[in-house]
Structure 1
Amino acid sequence: MLLDRLCLRLNAVVCGLLLFLVLGQGQDSASPVRTTHTGQVRGSLVHVKNTDVGVHTFLGIPFAKPPLGPLRFAPPEPPEPWSGVKDGTSHPAICPQNITVFNMMAMKLMNLSLPLISMSEDCLFLNIYTPAHAHEGSSLPVMVWIHGGGLVVGMASMYDGSVLAAFEDVVVVTIQYRLGILGFFSTGDKHAPGNWGYLDQVAALRWVQQNIASFGGDPGHVTIFGESAGGTSVSSHVVSPLSQGLFHRAIMESGVALLPGLIASSADAVSAMVANLCSCGQVDSEALVGCLRGKTEEELLAIQQPVMIIPGVVDGTFLPRHPQELLASADFQPVPSIIGVNNDEYGWIIPTFMNSSETWKEMDRETVKAILQQMLTMLMLPLESVDLLMEEYMGDSGDPQTLRAQFHEMMGDAIFVIPALQVANFQRSHAPVYFYEFQHRPSFLKDIKPPHVRADHGDELLFVFGTISWKGYIEVTEEEKLLSRRMMKYWANFARNGNPNGEGLPHWPVLDQEEQFLQLSTQPAVGRALKAHRLQFWTKTLPQKIRELMEAEEKHTELVGPYHTFHYFCSQLVVRSMGTVVRSGSRVLPWVAWLLLVFPVTATGPEVTRPEVDTTLGRVRGRQVAVKGTDRLVNVFLGIPFAQAPLGPGRFSAPRPAQPWQGVRDASTAPAMCLQDLERAENVRFVLNGKHQLFPISEDCLILNIYSPAEATAGAGRPVMVWFHGGSLVVGAATSQDGSALAAYGDVVVVTVQYRLGFLGFLSTGDEHAPGNWGFLDVVAALQWVQGNISPFGGDPNSVTISGTSAGSCIVSALVLSPLAAGLFHRAIAQSGVITTPILLDSNPRVLAQGFADSLGCRSTSSAEMLQCLRQMPKEEQILNIKMNMTAFYTIDGTFFPKRPMELLRERHFHSVPFLMGFNNHEFGWLIPRGWGFLDKMEQLSKEEILALLRPYLADLDVPPEVIPNIIDEYLGSISDAEAKRNAFQELLADMIIILPAMNFSRSLQDSGVPIFFYEFQHRPSSFAKIKPEWVRADHGAELAFMFGGPFLMDESSLLAFPEATEEEQQLSLTMMAQWTQFARTGDPNGEGLPLWPSYNQLGQYLEISPTPRVGHKLREARMHFWTETLPAKIQQWQQTQKGRKALGEL
C-alpha cells in the first residue's frame, strides 16, 4: 500500500521538523543524521507493518566519485567530501540502462506501471536500512545486497531492506554499480581492462568497512548476498583477491560465477563488437576508448542494444583467472556460503524476456528439437549435442505437457542448477555450505503466470525481503507470511553467525558427503542429492559423448569438413554477432554474445552485410533482417535524424534542418522515443496481445526509420509509404511499427516517423511567440527529408503515400488540408481518425499554456517571458511530472492551418490525392475506454452519468445541452440491460468521435472528385482471447498487425508481431498488405488475385475487411442520417424556439 507508506513517510518528516532539536540522533528521530568519512547524511524514519521497530533509511549515499569524463571506463575513485548535511531521503538516479526491461517486468509480474526513474552515469550510490535503535557501537550484522539483471539492468532502490532490517535486527545495504557497456566494456589491455561494475562493488564494500559502524553495523560481520547476476557477483567476490577481507559470508541465489556467459575468458569478441557498432572507425584500443568517452549516454545505450549482454572478463586483477580455474585450484576465500536455486528457473520470466513464448505452450518433439537447436548458443554446446539432450530429458515421450516440462527443466539445469551445484561442491571442502531449493509458487502470481509454472526465477525475493518497495505490501496467505519470516530468519541467522539454523526453525543441514539440502516451501523438508543424475550427465556423460563424436568427425573431415567443429560454430556466431543475427531468430540474440565472450575465437567465416547508404547529411549504416515466409531480405535503418534536436531555443519552435555528420552513422539500433508519460504509453500493449515494448525517452527524438527491400538499390524507384504513429498526440514511437514485413511482401520502402508529443509538441500561447502545432511541423520536415533523401534507399520521391492510425490518421488528414505539405506526398491512407474530430482543436490555447507554465514555475503574463523560461528551466523529468489531458490539442496557427479544417474542406482548399480510409467495427470496444479510465464503469453508468460524460464532447460539436437528451434517446432508448447499455454507449462514442467525422471528411473529398476507397475492418484477432473479453470485436488498432504483416515479423518482441496468428489470419494479413501497397503504387487497392474493392461513390460502397471480405453499401446509414439530418433539424427547431421566447420576452 504505497499510499500508506507515503503518508507514514510524510508524517515522519513533519515530526522530525518539530522534534529535531530535542531528539537529535535518538532512537525515535524522524530525521536521523549520521556521520561518514566524507560528510554527514540525513535519513528518514519508516514504520514497518506488524512490528513496533522503526527503521532509519539513508538513500543515495555516494561511495565513489561520479564515473564521468576520464573516469568513464576507469576504476572508481573515493567520493569527494561535502559540507553541510546531505539529504538521504529520496531514491538516487539509476545507472544508464534500458528501463523498458523494468517496465516490462513490473507489467508482467504485477500489472503495474513503474514511476518515472531518473537515470544518470552519476549513479554510484548505496542505500542503508538500519533499525532505529541502532547507533555507533551496536555492532549489528551487515547484509550487503547486490542486485541482478544480467549485468545490464537493475537498481538498488528496487529492493527495500526495511522489513528485513526491522524483523531481524540487521543493517541492510543495497548498492548500485555500472552496467552494460559502461560497467563491463573491455579492450583486453591497459587502456580498458574492464570489470568496472565489479570494481564499483569492491569500492562499495570498502565504503561499508569504513563507514557502516556509524549506522550501527559491524564491519567485522558483513554478508554479501545477491540473486541471478547479483549471485554471480557474490560468487565472483569469493574468488577475487581484490575483495579479500571485505566480507565474511556469502549468499548466492540463482546465480554463481559459473553461470553461462556472465564471465568471459577474453575481451577480444566484445571489443570487436563494440568497435563495429560504435562508428569510431578502425582505431586502436586507446583511440577506441577515447572515442567512447566522447559519446553520450544515449549513444552508448544504442550501441549496447543489439548486443544486450556485456559480461565480466578475466582481467588479471579482479579475476586473475577464470572462476572455474580458481575454484578448481581452491584459490578463493573460504567463507561460509548459502547457495540455492528455484525449482522452475526457466519457468516463465526468462522465456518471457527471451521472447520464447512458444516454450510456455505444450510442444511436440519436432518443436522441442527446433527450439533446442536455436538455444544451443546459450547452452554453449555444438550441434551434435541435440540428440543427446533429447535422449536425456525427453526420452521417447510424445506427451506435449511432459515435453514442455522437460524442456524447462533442461534449460533451468543448464543455466542455473548445474553451475550452482558445481560451485557448492568446490566450496564445501573449504568452508560450510548450506544449499537450498526454493519450491513455493507465490499465490499472488496465480493470475499472472500459467498454472504449470512452479517456483520461477526470482520468486524467492519477496520472501527474503518481505516486501517490494514500489508495490507496497503484497497480499499473501498466512502460510506465505510464515515462509517469509522463516526465510528472513534463516538469512539473518546466517549473517549473524555463519549458520542459518536457530530456535524454532526447521533444521537445515550443511552440505556434506550426504549431500543434504533444504527444500524451502510452506512445508520445508530436508532433501538429499539434488539432481545427482543430471549433474553426472552434464559434467561427465555429455562432455565424454561430445568428445567421442568430435573424434569420429575428425577422422572423416574429407566428408564433413569443418562445419561441425565447435570452434567453427563459435566463429560463425562471432561474425553474425558483428552483423545481424536475425536469421537465427530474435530469441537467440541476447545469448549470442554470451557464447562468444566465454570462448575466445577468431572470426573466420564469411562477412555479413551491413548496408550503408549516403544521405545529403552523411553516410548511415543499418542492418539486414529476414522476414518469415519469404526469402526477400530487408535493409533497416533506425534513428536517422531529419531535424536538429529541439532543445534550448529549439523547444517550442519550428524544427530546424538536421546537421551533417562525419564518418558513418550507426543506424542499427532503436532510437529514443519522444518525451511522454510511460504509464500512459503502457496502454499501447493492448493493441494486439499484451506485449509491452517501450524505448528510452528523450527530447532529442526527431528521427525516422527506413525499411527497404535489400535488392532496391539507389534509384530503384520503389513506392514510398510514410507512417505516422498514433497515441492521441501524447504517446507513441516510430519503432513500435516494424515495417520490414510490409517492405518485403509489398516491395515498397516504408518510413516511420517520430514527432514531438504532448506539451512539447503542441503547446501554444495563441500568438506569434508560440503559434503551436510543433508536432505537425515535425512531420512536414520529415516529408521534406524524404523528398531529398529517399532515392538512395531505393524509394521514389514522386510516389509517396502518407499513412497513419488514430492520431497518426488525424495527421494524415491534416497534411491533406495544410498548404505546407503541398507536393510532399501523392496518396493518403487514414485509419480510424481524421483531423476534423472537434475535440482535438483548442480555440483558446493560452489557458492551457499558462497552466503548464505555472506548474513549472514559469509564471508570467508575457508570452515572450513565459517561453524564455520554459526553454531554459524545466528538465525532462519536470515536464513528465505534469499530467496531460487524454490528448494534445492543435491550434489554428495561420501557417500549418490558415483556417479551421472544416472551413478548408468546405472551401475545397486541400490536396486532391487518392484517399484510402476507414475504421474498425468496435472502435470504442476496449482499448480507448481503458486508456480514458472508464472501462470498468461502462455497464454501471446511468443515463445521467452518460449525459455528464458526453456534455464536453458534444459542446465541441455545437450541440446545445438541451438537445443532448435526443442523442441519448437515439442510442439508449429505454434500454435497461447493462450489457446492451454498454454496447450502445460504445457505439455512440465511436460514431461521435471517429466514424461521423471520417464519413463527413470522405464525403467532402468525394464531392470534389477525389478517388476514395472506404473500409470497415471487422475481424477480432485471435490474440484478443488472452487480453480482452469475448464481446470485444475489432477494437481500435486491431487492423495494425494485419496491414504491417505481424504474422511474418521475425522479431517477435515487436509490438505488432503476431506469431500465434491462425492460417486464415496469415492470409488476411497477406491480402491487406497487398491492398495497401497496391494503393501506394497506383492509387487503387485493386489488383490481380485481390477481392474487389469499389470506390466510395454515390452508392456508398465500401469493403468489409475480414477473412471473408465482401462489398457493403451505405455504411451506418441510419446513424449517419440521424447525425446529418435529424439532429441538425432538432437543433434548428430548438434555436427557433429560443428566438421565439426571446422575442416574447422583449415584448
Structure 2
Amino acid sequence: MWSGLVVCLWLCLGVLGEGREGRLVNTHQGPVKGYKEPGDSVFVFHGIPYATAPTGDYKFQAPLPPPRWFDVLEAVNSSIICPQGILGDITFEGLVQQENCLVASVYVPDTDQKRLPVLVYVHGGGYQIGYANLFSPINLARSKKVVVVTFNYRLGIHGFLCLGTDRAPGNAGMKDQVAALEWVKRYISSYGGNPDDVTIAGYSAGSSAVDLLMISPATKGLFHKVIPESGSNMASWSVQVDPLEQAKSFAKLKGVENVDDVYALEEFYTSASYDVLISYPFWDKTEFSFGFSPCVERKTEDAFLTESPYTILKNGKYKKVPMLYGFADMEGLIRIDKFEAWKDKMNANFSAFIPLDLQFENDNERDAVIQKVKEFYFDNKPVSEETVLGYVDIMSDLLFVYSTLRAVNLHVNAGHDKIFLYEYNYVDNSTPIIPQSKEVRGADHCAQTVAVLDGASMYSDDESNISEEFKDVKKVMREIWINFITTGSPVPEGSSLPAWPPVGAGGAPHMSLGRTLQLRGALAEKQVRFWDSIYAKHYREPQPPPAPPARHSEL
C-alpha cells in the first residue's frame, strides 16, 4: 500500500568517522540516512530512488514504481545523472550517466519544527541536459523554513520521443516529474515536510516544466504554488508543434529510410544505442526550438497532456494556484555565443529564424512578417555588431519574454488573480559586457535563479568572492522566494518590502527586481503588441501525433 504515512523519524546523533552528523529516516519505502557537513545546519539525502526507469522496448514509457529496501540506504550518492549529450564546456567529471537515473535529493534543515513547507525544484537544460543538483538549494534550506527536493528526469529523446504508439506515447520525462511529485506526496512527511503545502519551481526548461505541470490533469492535488523562472508553457520550444515530424527528421539523419512507417520509427528508436540517442544537435537549431520536448499526447488513460497549453489556458480549465512568474531583462544573452555564426545566416536567410509555432499560407505572407520583424528589431539594417542589441532582444522575446506575457494575459482573462509578475534586472561590475556592444551589460538567462540558488557544479555556495551589493540582492531574493513558498505572496502583510499586488488586465503591475525593488506598470508592452498582431494571424497550435495504424499482428 502506497500510503506514504510516517513510520517514525528519529535522529542518529553519532558522529561519523568523517566528522559528519547523520540523520536516519524510516519510511514505508525503507530506512534512509543523510548527513550534514560539519558546522552546517542542513541534512542532505542524495540518490533516493523516487521511481524506476523502464528499459529495453519499454524505455519510452511512463516510469515504474520505486524500489523498497530493508537495509539502511546511505543517501550519499550525488553522482547519478540521466543520459544526455554535451553542451559547450559542460563536463561530467565525477558524474555517472545511467539508464535508471530517477533519483531525488532532499535538503532538510536541522530544526525541531515539523511539517515544513516543501519546495520541489525542476532543473533546466532545454529538456536536453541537466541534473538534480546542477544548482543547489542549500541556502534556502538553511533558512530553516522549508524542506527542498531536487530530482533527475529523463531527457532529450529518452524523455520526449512522442510517436503516439503504445511503446512511445510521449512525455516520459514529464511523467517522471509527476512520479517525483507523487513520491513527495507519499514520503516527504518522513523528512519533516508538509505534503499539503508544496511549491514547485524550476528554471529555464524547468520553468516551462512546472508551468506544464500546473495545467496537467495528472498533477491534481500534488502541489499548491508555482514558481516558473525564465520559461513558459507557451514558448515555441516548450511543446513540440509536430512531434511525429520531429521523430522522422532525426531518424533520417541516422539513415532510416522508411520513416513514414511509424512502427519502423518505433523499432529504430527502441533499438538505437544510448550514444545514438544523445547525439541530437539541439543547440544548433535556429527556429526557437530545441527539438525533443514535451508534446500534446493522444487521449489515453495515462496521458500527461492531451490539449495544447493555449487551449487549456484560454478555456481556464486548470487549477489556479498562486504563481511567482517572470524572467531576466536580457534573457537572449543565452544565444550570444551563436551571434558570430548566426548573424550572416540571418542576413542571408531570415526565414530560418522564424519560430516553429508560426505558419503561413504562402511565401508572401511569410516574407511580409519577416520584413516587419527586421524593421522592429534591426531598423532594416543588417544583423551586425551595430545591431547586436536587436539580436539579443529578439532572442529574449521569442525564447522567453513574449510567451510568458502571452500566458499571463491568458491567465488573467481566465480569471486567475494570484500571479505575481517580475523582471529581474540586477547586474554588478563583475557582469561581463556584451563583447559586440562595448558597454552594455544585462541580466542573463536565469540570472534570478543564480541569485536565489547556489551551485554544486556550476556556481559555488561559497559567497565570499561576490560583491557586498550582490550578497544583499541575494538575501532579498531569497526572502521573496521564501515568503511566497510559505505564504503564497512574495510580500506578505507585515513585510518591510514594497507592496506587490498581483498582475491584472493589461499586464500590470510587475515588480522590477534590481538594486532596489520598484513596482512598475505593464512589462514589455511594445513587444507584446507587436507579437500579438503576428500570432493572432499565424499561430500554429501544437497537435498530438496521429493515431497509428493497427500493427500487422493485430489485423
Q: Structures share a fold, TM > 0.5? A: yes
Q: Is the 1:57–1:128 contact (alpha carbons within 8 Å) kept by the matching residues of 2?
A: yes
2:27 paired residue among 32, 36, 40: 36
- Aligned with residue 497 of structure 2, among 478, 502, 505: 505
1:232 CA drift (Å): 0.8
1:180 and 2:163 correspond? no
CA distance in 1 between counterparts of 2:80 and 2:183 reads 19
Look up the match of 1:405: 389
Please tell me whether residue 376 in structure 1 is matched to residue 363 in structure 2.
Answer: no
Distance, in Å, in 2 between the alignment partners of 1:601 and 1:178 is 20
Identity of aligned residues (%): 28
Q: Which has the higher helix share?
A: 1
Which 5+ residue runs of structure 1 have no aligned equivalent?
1-12, 21-28, 106-112, 548-565, 567-594, 603-1147
Aligned to 1:309: 291
**Structure 1 counterpart of 2:530:** 537
Q: Is the 8 A contact 2:57 2:167 kept in 1?
A: no
Match of 2:467 in 1: 477
- What secondary structure is seen at the aligned counterpart in 2 of 1:220? strand
Match of 2:15 in 1: 16
Q: Give the drift of 1:118.
A: 1.1
CA distance in 2, matches of 1:423, 1:465: 25
Q: Which runs of 5+ in 2 are unaligned?
A: 1-11, 360-365, 547-555
Counterparts of 1:402 and 1:441, CA distance in 2: 23
CA distance in 2, matches of 1:344, 1:410: 10
Q: What SS is found at the alignment partner of 2:472?
A: helix
**Corresponding residue for 1:190?**
166
For the Cα contact (< 8 Å) 1:53–1:131, is it kept in 2?
A: no
Q: Return the offset for 1:220.
A: 0.7
- The DSSP-based 3-state class of the residue aligned with 1:31 is strand
Identify if the C-alpha distance between structure 1 residues 383 and 116 changes in structure 2 by more than 3 Å, giving closer, same or farther. farther
Matched, 1:121 2:114: no
8 Å contact from structure 1 (residues 181, 304) kept in 2: no
The answer (yes or no) to whether the contact 2:36–2:42 under 8 Å persists in 1 is yes
Q: Mark the CA change 1:404 to 1:448 in structure 2 (over 3 Å): closer, same or farther.
A: closer
1:406 Cα offset (Å): 2.3
Kindly report the root-mean-square deviation, in angstroms, between the aligned alpha carbons of the 2 structures: 3.2
Query: How far, CA to CA, are the matches of 1:465 and 1:356 in structure 2?
Result: 29
Shift of 1:370: 3.8
Q: How big is each residue's C-alpha offset from its partner over 1:255-299, in whole Å with a ceiling of 9 and x where there is no partner?
A: 011111321244321232244345566385445434533333113
Q: 2 CA distance for matches of 1:526 and 1:402? A: 32
Aligned match of 2:130: 154
Structural mapping, 1:221-620, within 5 Å = 221-278=197-254, 282=258, 284-286=261-263, 288-302=265-279, 309-315=291-297, 316=299, 317-347=303-333, 349-352=334-337, 355-357=338-340, 369-370=347-348, 372-377=350-355, 380=358, 382-395=366-379, 403-428=387-412, 429-446=415-432, 451-469=439-457, 471-472=459-460, 473-474=462-463, 475-502=465-492, 503-513=495-505, 515-540=508-533, 542-543=534-535, 598=542
Could you tell me how far apart the structure 2 residues matched to 1:287 and 1:367 are? 35
Kindly state the Cα deviation for residue 244 of structure 1 after the two structures are TM-superposed.
Answer: 1.2
1:141-172 deviation digits (Å, cap 9, x = unpaired): 11101111111111002121111110252111
| CA distance in 1: counterparts of 2:107 and 2:545, whole angstroms | 46
- One-letter amino acid of the structure 1 residue matched with residue 269 of structure 2: L
CA–CA distance in 2 between the matches of 1:389 and 1:470?
35
Q: Aligned equivalents of 2:71 and 2:545: distance in 1?
A: 54
Query: CA offset at residue 70 of structure 1?
Result: 4.4
SS at match of 1:32: strand
Structure with greater contact order relative to length (CA < 8 Å, sep ≥ 6): 2
State the distance in 1 between where 2:42 and 2:545 align: 52
The verdict on how the C-alpha distance between 1:431 and 1:202 changes in structure 2, with shifts beyond 3 A counting, is: farther
**Could you tell me how far apart the structure 2 residues matched to 1:293 and 1:30 are?**
45
The answer for the alignment partner of 1:202 in structure 2 is: 178
After superposition, residues 1058-1073 of structure 1 pair within 5 angstroms as none
**Per-residue CA distance 1:75-96 (angstroms, 9 max, x = gap):** 1111121120112112141111
The answer (yes or no) to whether the contact 2:347–2:383 under 8 Å persists in 1 is no
How far did residue 383 of structure 1 move? 3.2
Contact 2:134 2:455 in 1 (8 A): no
Distance 1:72 1:134 in 2: 42
Distance in 2, Cα, partners of 1:74 & 1:200: 10
Q: Deviations over 1:641-693 (max 9, x none)?
A: xxxxxxxxxxxxxxxxxxxxxxxxxxxxxxxxxxxxxxxxxxxxxxxxxxxxx
In 2, Cα distance between the equivalents of 1:322 and 1:184? 16
Q: Residues 810-959 of structure 1: matches in 2 within 5 Å?
A: none
Q: Is the 8 A contact 1:368 1:407 kept in 2?
A: no
SS of alignment partner, residue 396 of structure 2: helix
CA pair 200-256 structure 1, distance change in 2 beyond 3 A: same
Change (3 A) 1:304 1:38: farther
- Taking the aligned partners of 1:223 and 1:241, their CA distance within structure 2 comes to 17
Equivalent pair of 1:31/1:44 in contact (CA under 8 Å): yes
TM-superposition CA deviations, 1:806-825 (whole Å, max 9, x none): xxxxxxxxxxxxxxxxxxxx
Partner SS for 2:505:
coil
Q: CA deviation at 1:233?
A: 0.5
**Structure 1 Cα separation of the partners of residues 232 and 535 of structure 2:** 21
Look up the SS of the partner of 1:487 in the other structure.
helix
- Contact (CA 8 Å) 2:232, 2:403: kept in 1 or not? yes
SS in structure 2 opposite 1:482? helix
1:90 matched to 2:77? yes
Under a length normalisation based on structure 2, what TM-score does the superposition of the two structures give? 0.84
Distance of 2:208 and 2:237 partners within structure 1: 11
> In the TM superposition, what whole-angstrom CA distance separates every residue of 1:457-486 from its partner, at most 9, and x where no partner exists?
122222111455454324211111111111
CA contact (8 A) 1:232 1:256 kept: yes
Secondary structure in structure 1 of the residue aligned to 2:149: strand
Task: Provide Cα deviations, 1:793-848, integer angstroms capped at 9, x if missing partner.
Answer: xxxxxxxxxxxxxxxxxxxxxxxxxxxxxxxxxxxxxxxxxxxxxxxxxxxxxxxx
**Alpha-carbon distance between aligned partners in 2 of 1:525 and 1:439, rounded to the nearest angstrom:** 11
Q: 1:784-799 to 2 correspondence within 5 Å?
A: none
CA distance in 1, matches of 2:357, 2:410: 22
SS for the counterpart of 1:157 is coil
Aligned to 1:1099: none
Residue aligning to 2:52 = 65
Residues 396 and 66 (structure 1), Cα distance of their counterparts in 2 relative to 1, 3 Å cut: closer
The aligned residue for residue 551 of structure 2 is: none
* 1:745-1144 superposed matches below 5 A: none
Number of residue pairs aligned between Structure 1 and Structure 2: 510
Distance 1:66 1:392, change over 3 A: closer
Q: In the aligned structure 1, how far is the partner of 2:499 from the partner of 2:161?
A: 44
Q: Please state how far the C-alpha of 1:411 moved relative to its aligned partner.
A: 2.4
CA shift in 2, pair 1:35/1:287, >3 Å: farther
Give the TM-score of the pair, scaled to structure 1.
Answer: 0.42
Give the 5 Å matches for 1:624-639: none
Contact 2:82/2:97 (<8 A) preserved: yes
